[in-house]
Structure 1
Amino acid sequence: MGALAVGHSHPQVVDAVRTQLQRFTHTFFGSIPYDGYVRLAERLNAIAPFPSPAKTLLVTTGAEAVENAVKIARFHSGRRGVVVFSGGFHGRTLLTLAMTSQLDPYKRGFGPFPTDVYHAPFPSAYRGPSADESLEALRNLFETQIEPDQVAAMVIEPVQGEAGFLPAPPEFMRGLRALCDAHDIVLIADEVQSGFARTGRVFAVEHSGVEPDLVALGKSFGGGLPIAAVIGKAVIMDAVPPGGLGGTYAGNPLACAAALAALNVLEEENLTARSMEIGERLTTGFRSLNLGTNCPIIGEVRGLGAMIGIELVDDAMSQRPATALTARLVEDAAKHGLLLASAGRAHNVIRVLAPLTASNEIIDEALAIFDESLARVVALANA
């Protein structure tokens, strides 16, 4: 899900992994360090979305990255509380499930979950609440549920993934930064899905101009191999003593080689600019679909760069989620060669995470299949 921004088996990634295979496949970095881990950490430190000195921890999965970011924030601050936002998805470990807001299919039957996790509203321009209302709810949370001086971290996806590709408004991000600064709370950007040029910037948080303290990175960062990272301000990362973080396969040599190659592809093929081009092409295409019907099925097309969500509704007035129609659309499109994935609490949002190496011809072919499939399922629903 969204792990191939550089496409399937990019030649540079394949060559890098093949070369590393001929050297060695594994050592535990904590005992026998190797150059690939160090070079990758240095590359990530250099592109961190903040100007202060950075340090990087490599792990294996996005959930690990998020969970380790919380551990670092707790150790640094000496506090327990973690604030997250409605609609967020942060992983499938017990802690990251506690931080995730969607019951089905992720949380049901897996509790009890860790405590000291608090959920606040995430703003939505289409359905509400507004950025101001969400910030006010967060202030109310500090008055009624946990004192701000007991909060170690706020964790936010700059573009929510499972919620249906909802970008956090810049004014909301600025409000969070101000609250974190006022109460010495660590601001963590979960960029596992939105990072690595998906939104037209290396990190989606850069669109807001807000500097996070820690960043969780994963998915596309590995070019198709399992690797993730926590990039953070050195003063925070250095709080944890040696041995407090790590894992047997954390920063595996093969995955480090793949990630270094993927970073080269990002720079050499200018994937941040390509992300914006793909996003503009897709957004224009989705907004201009002619369904031959008076029923406005597409409620909203939203996103940043090439990270786009298309929310389908039964009618524009009620904004009632078109859950059944969305499921039929996914099924029909698959039969005609286009793989789609739904998202959102009501599973009525089509999320688009095309490889940033995709040609305009492939993008246009996908739009044509989408148009034809949507027309068929709408006609069937109106029959």
Structure 2
Amino acid sequence: MGMFAYQGQRLSGEKVIGKLEATSVQEVRVQLKEQGIVAFQVEPINALLNKELDLGFQKVKTQDFVLFLRQYSTLLKAGIPIVQATTISAEQTTSKPLRVALKEVAEQVNSGIALSGAAKGHPAIFPELFTNMVYAGEMGGNLDEILERLADDYEKQHRTKQKITAAMTYPLVVSVFAFGVVVFLLMVVVPMFANMFANMDQDLPIITVIVMEAGQLIGRFWWLLLGMFVILFAMFAIVKNDPKVRFYSDRFLLKIPVIGKLVQKALLARMTRILSSLFSSSVPVLQALEIVERIVKNEVVNQVLKDSRLYLEKGESLTAPMKGHWVFPPLVTQLMTVGEKTGTLDVMLGKIADYYEAEVETGTDQLKAFIEPVMIVALAVIVGTIVMAIMVPMFSLFQNFN
């Protein structure tokens, strides 16, 4: 997919300019034709010149985006025209990237471009899920309801993500702190006593010898250890986009004891929540699966979703590839099968999402309650071992003086 700038004219004679995301110039012309626009000029936007769309600081915080959706939905329900509602939302939001994007969208909508088409020109601001559901709302005439549903879904997804982040951040921070303390003790504190112990006319305890050797090793070869970390990080950065590397790294993450189960539940909650929203908005099934593949960003889950699309194209069940796969528990496949047979797949997916969101919330609380004492004990053992390695010979030295 790439960005294309275009100039064209409506049947009424009004000239329009804008940007669209598409795979080719021909696809842009087809999209514009569907909107009643005759394209005079379509040119791809240079990726480097358009790079600012993907800069991290231009991302919109979930809280700001949810607030925008709430306000926008309320304005549309009150009967305010889309252009005016977009302009008001731009003035109300405190997010600068969102404000700039909304002003540009308002100008494009005022020139006759559909809201979904205008939003596609800002992929860093408006996610693909948003643009596709807005398009469904435009076609179904229930845009305000869809925006309100989107706000609910984004809030639920954000809570789940925050829970997972909090559960992962605590052990990471403690581990980094512990590593820093250990390195400081081995490189600074232990060498201060090494010379003293070297002059002692007695054998040192094995624990002291090991700690002193470790301190000397780190002191001599710290640059080598740092270089190895840098090389490993660089290698991972280079190969991380390789599909096979992503598949096995995602698989490894899901197989980690305790944490893997939590990540799996969070993925299932996110996948089913998005699918439920898309299906309830009448987005075609195949298109909905493609959207979820790009949003979930887990190669193990995506591989199953691709197989599901192939099965659907053959006229078979959506859940056929999921049954028996270790990522998808029986609860998921059974409820989805019931939904397929009864025509309530969106409702069933919503129930699955509710269940796993609650599971993630409970699981993260339990994980934090388990990790905290374990990390404290581990840190105490490591630091205590180093302190003991120093203190034991000191006690022996004091006894000799006495």
Task: Assess same fold via TM > 0.5.
Answer: no
Q: Of the two, which has the highest radius of gyration?
A: 2
Q: If each structure's helix is expressed as a fraction of its own residues, which one has the higher value?
A: 2
Instruction: Identify, as 1 or 2, the structure richer in strand.
Output: 1
- TM score, norm. by length of structure 2: 0.27
Of structures 1 and 2, the one scoring higher in RCO (CA 8 A, sep 6+) is 1
